[in-house]
Amino acid sequence: MRELPKALQTEGTSPQVDKSIALSRLLPPPDRSRARVLFWLKGQVPETRIRHILRVEQFAIELAQRHHLDREKAAQAALMHDLAKFFKPKRLLSMAIAEGLEIDPIEEMNPHLLHADAGAIVARDEFGVTDSEVLNAIRHHTLGSPEMSLLGCVVYLADGLEPGRGATPELEELRDLSRQDLIQATWRVADASLRHLIQAGHLIHPRTVQTRNAFLQRFKQTVVKDPIAKIQLVKGIQT
């Protein structure tokens, strides 16, 4: 066998593994530019959804800037959050099974909820995203997660509060809150989402309840040290 150039040699043990690593190094890196993601999305989702995605991207950038978080990661996760929004239930289920994800009874009944997990898989496999914080922010954008990072909160909040969601006093208040306090806003948006699901008579995925409880607790821990936040907590409970 012809020897590989020095730069392509690897320390792998099997010749097949060595060869595929060497070949992947010859390929250009995956193109995850904004233009390519938008081009891909335009073939997958209707124009109204593209406009929602762009508003989520804008709001996520604003929140990341205000809270001194990584603006580029926020923009990338927001742009990619709905990559799998229009995948059919069968495709979502088979992607989740292939990935080895545990599918719970609520997801089995409503596979659309898996579009968030599937979006992270597409971001990784189609666009070569490797940053776990970005991938997790995509994965948690619908149901939230009790372990969600602040970047995850930014994408969760931007998705729920982007201007296209409406201009009710409640939404305006939550937008203002998200600019001030990501933890409190995440608790309050999870609350609002649960109220909406109950009113609509929908099944509730327990992860949103867990998210609500975790962020309420985290917020309560911060108010012990911060009297201004304590006033906001009382106000939040009254409204």
Ligand X SMILES: Nc1ncnc2c1ncn2[C@@H]1O[C@H](COP(=O)(O)OP(=O)(O)O)[C@@H](O)[C@H]1O
Which residue from 95, 136, 137, 142 is in contact with ligand X, where contact means CB under 6 A?
A: 142
**93, 103, 106 from 100: Cα distances, Å:** 11, 9, 17
- Token output for 45: 């989702």
- Closer residue to ligand X, CB minimum distance, 199 or 239: 199
| Spatial contact of 159 and 56, defined as CB atoms under 8 Å apart | yes
Token output for 151: 């970047």
* d(C-alpha 61, C-alpha 76), whole Å: 9
Cβ-contact 158, 56 below 8 angstroms: yes
Q: How far is the CB of 76 from ligand X (least distance, A)?
A: 18
Nearer to ligand X, 113 or 151 (CB): 113
- State in angstroms the smallest separation of the CB of 141 from ligand X: 7
Distance CA 151, CA 159 (A): 12
Among 113, 114, 120, 138, binds ligand X (CB under 6 A): 113
Residue 8 CA neighbour count, 13 Å, CB half: 16
- Does 143 engage in binding with ligand X (CB under 6 A)? yes
> In whole angstroms, what is the distance from residue 158 CA to residue 173 CA?
14
Site string for ligand X, 145-164 (x = CB under 6 A): --------------x-----
CA distance readout (Å), 209 to 66, 128, 144, 145, 206? 27, 32, 9, 9, 5
- Which residues within the stretch 207-226 sit at the binding site for ligand X (CB under 6 A)? 208
Kindly tell me which of 145 and 193 has the beta carbon lying closer to ligand X.
193
Residues 190-209 that bind ligand X (CB under 6 A): 193, 197, 202-205, 208
What track of x and - describes contact with ligand X for positions 11 through 50 (by CB under 6 A)? Answer: ----------------------------------------
Interface with ligand X: number of residues (CB under 6 A) = 12
Smallest separation, CB 197 to ligand X (Å)? 6
Residue 108 CB, nearest approach to ligand X (Å): 12
Comparison of 142 and 178: residue with beta carbon closer to ligand X: 142
Smallest separation (angstroms) from ligand X to the CB of 138: 11
Task: State the Rg of the chain over Cα.
Answer: 21
User: In whole angstroms, what is the distance from residue 59 CA to residue 108 CA?
Assistant: 32
Query: What DSSP line would sit under 45-64, residue for residue?
Result: S-HHHHHHHHHHHHHHHHHH
Q: Which residues contribute to the site for ligand X (CB under 6 A)?
A: 112-113, 142-143, 159, 193, 197, 202-205, 208
